[in-house]
Amino acid sequence: MSNLLSTNIAQLQLKTPTALASGILGYTAESLQLAAKGGAGTVVTKSVGVNPRPGYPNPTVVQAKNALINAVGLPNPGINQYTEEITYSKTLLKVPLIVSVFGYTAEEYALVSQKAADAGADAVELNVSCPHVKYTGSEIGQNPKLLTEVICKVKAATQKPVIVKLSPNVTDITELAKAAEKAGADALTVVNTVRAVVIDIETQTPILSNVRGGMSGPAVKPIALRCVYDVFEAVKLPIFGCGGITNWKDAVEFFLAGASAVQVGTAVASEEPSVFQAINRGVTSYLKRKGYRSVKEIVGLCHQA
């Protein structure tokens, strides 16, 4: 299975093309290891910033039809405390560790990235697309100038690969992808959650305490797939496809659209970490049935049609 599924992205060697998406299994080494043992080829932590942050009060997560809508508010212990967990995680994990970072300025992104790398992170993923926290995330990810500034600062602060997680909540995602490529990003994650609202008709008020949240799960898959398709045609950077992937057929669609690997999030919460093994087995069977020797052979294949 490993020969068929092994791939590389952003200088990271992955035994399988599936990854734990940021925001699902917490911050601990043990929770990340669950995903790795479940078959993930790499794991991405929840986002961490310069200072500790409590996040939003409940309710922070709502179940919708074929989707979850969340606005947890980037709760995290702060990078100074989290460096200990990064170092410990590296003693347990047999797969690359990617640390998701956020900040309110380019300097904060650079500082957190540098500390994460120094603690042992194999790469950093810049969360420039969180749809529910003001003055960070999407405000940066929607502005090519700000995005360029952040990436340049981070690249100057660390030698580790820099992955940029793009937002679907933009008019033209390819403009942001091009800006990221020009600024020196090593790879892209396409995409973060879709901005959404859900309302309680009895109380006649929004359910989430933050009102607006980010939608994930099967309902967003066609949107994410379109974004991967468009970005693949616009830039040469490798892509982590992300958004609504729950089974091997979803993963194959993302590979054909142009993703070199896929990140799985909401499905892990509903189907346990074994979802990675199920996806890996299905992709392996598909590759053998079609006569391919590597998953790399089908990346972007539908663009040749």
Mean pLDDT by 10-residue block, N- to C-terminus, for the chain (305 residues)?
85 97 85 95 96 93 92 92 96 97 94 98 92 67 92 97 96 97 98 95 96 94 98 98 97 98 92 91 98 98 89
CA dihedral 141, 142, 146, 148 (to 10 degrees): 70
- Which pLDDT score, from 0 to 100, does residue 1 have? 47
For residue 50, how many other CB atoms are within 10 A of its CB? 20
Question: What is the structure's pLDDT at 30?
Answer: 93
Known catalytic residue at 152: no
**Active-site annotation holder among 130, 152, 242, 302:** 130
What's the pLDDT at 112? Answer: 98
pTM exceeds 0.85, yes or no = yes
Structure tokens at 136: 């960070």
